[in-house]
Amino acid sequence: MEYDEYEDYDEYDQDNMMQQYGDEYYDYGDGMQQDQDFTYWGHFENCVVPSISQGVQITLPLLLLCMAMKVTTLFSLPSSVFHFLSIGSGLVAMAFFFEKYLFYIISLTVLGYFALQVANQTLGKYRGAVCAVVVVTYLVIMELFLADPSQWHRVRGCQMIVAMKIISVGFDVDQGTLKEIPDVIEFTGYCVFAGSIIFGPWISYSTYALAAQGVDLDLRYTATVVVKLLQALACLVISTCIAPIMFTSESWHYKWLHAYRDAMSFRFSHYFISYLSETTGILAGLGATGNVEEGDKVKWSFAVAKPLNVELPRSLVEVVTNWNLPMHSWLKNYVFKTSRHLGNFAAILLTYAASSLLHGINFQLAAVLLSLGLYSYTEYVLRQKLSDAFSACVGAKACKPACSHRNKKKNVLVILTNVVFGLLAMFHLAYLGLMFDTDDSELEEQGYDWTHTLSKWSHLNYASHWVALITFVFYWLIK
């Protein structure tokens, strides 16, 4: 089996940027659904309106900073001015969201640039590998020994983005994508760029540099920003106000519906952050496509997640790809591909390890990431085997229109098979996503431990793991 089609064991990215803000500011609890005086209008007034109001209030300063960054590019200013403004706006944004804890992010940025220069001056190569070792070592030492757990958890997502940027610069210089290491002002501006520093996502240095171009603002730009912001607020409302009042019965046979509800709430909080990151990115000038000099109309496209492909998935492989597109790209290009010469198995392990370390060191994250990796790999090889055996479009990834299979995607049995695997993926997502409910805010601030994870899965009789095991045994018998 060629591994090219299943190019990476990606991550569930459950600690995506600033997840804690969705819980810290919008946690209304499940108690409201038991209120005998509950009415939909009252729920609208007491949950929907406050959620939207607080969401706008919290993000407005960042949105204004990003828009100011974009406006400055409309003037014919030296590029150095843009980088200085990027540093200034980034520091202001971090001070607003993280207050004094921004020193963690600044120290990582300084350390990363120092590692880049040392590797460049002494080795002249292996810059990416050196940066990876230095950055990961810093993150591990801070998390395990030096940083206060609640403080570190608050800035973990931001640290992850900065770490990914530092490592990507090192590998890009090694691979020739970047001709040379950016100077200290350019590098710092890139690391703390307001369009991605708070809610993410990771962007390459080349993408950041394109934001400095003075593409004129037009109706498309405004409309795209408004639509993205409305999508973010809609996901926030679903996560905090709609999902919690679904399936309120406490009957034992409702436990899987409760699991789906809680996992759904988490997923939509992730979509909220994803759409916010798209909003801030576009506001700051990211995502412009089309050659203005040739008369093309500029379009604004900056995708972070594809919720529909996650909520109604074809496969788990599709889920891990579309959950966080920039993270998927980073892991594939800078971890899997660069380590593939060690063998597919070693590359998979390194990709899993990189994702786990970047997201944080705790049993909950590692268990979910490892489970998802094993699930998606098992599903991939089984479906590939079935696809080859029956010459049918039932692989984990959708076939191209000109594929050589006899049984195309419109075949009834092919449709039913893909639907069954899609439902199975939703089943696994409910089981894995249950780990990230918010029933203990104090525990959440410091990260969940192994007892929390096992208690949640035990409540569901480890059903998902048993199903995955049966799926693998079936594959092993027919391969």
Residues noted as catalytic: 359
CA 15 – CA 364 distance, rounded (Å): 11
420-425 contacts at long range (C-beta below 8 A, 24 or more positions apart): 421/314, 421/315, 421/379, 421/383, 421/394, 421/396, 422/312, 422/313, 422/314, 422/315, 424/379, 424/467, 425/313, 425/314, 425/315, 425/316, 425/318, 425/319, 425/379
CA distance 334 to 281: 22
Token output for 141: 């030492």
289: three-class secondary structure by DSSP: strand
The beta strands (E) that lie in 243-374 are given as 288-289, 299-300
What are the residues facing 288 on neighbouring strands?
300
Residue type, 191: C
Structure tokens that stand for 27 in this block: 């946690």
Annotate 186-245 with three-state secondary structure. Answer: HHHHHHCCCCCCCCCCCCCHHHHHHCCCCCCCCHHHHHHHHHHHHHHHHHHHHHHHHHHH
**300 secondary structure, DSSP code:** E
The residue type of 422 is G
Kindly report the backbone phi and psi dihedral angles of residue 59, in degrees, each rounded to the nearest multiple of 5, phi listed first: -90, -15
User: Rounded to an integer, what distance in angstroms lies between the CA atom of residue 261 and that of residue 235?
Assistant: 14
Q: Residue 161's closest CA among 84, 105, 94?
A: 105
Distances (CA, A) of 148 to 79, 95, 199, 445: 38, 18, 22, 11
Dihedral over Cα of 275, 277, 278, 282: its sign: positive
Q: How many CB atoms lie within 10 A of CB 428?
A: 24
Q: Where are the alpha helices (DSSP H) in 360-394?
A: 363-390
Scanning 391-440, the segments in alpha helix (DSSP H) are 412-433
Q: In this structure, what DSSP letter does residue 142 have?
A: I
| Whether 326 contacts 161, CB under 8 Å | no
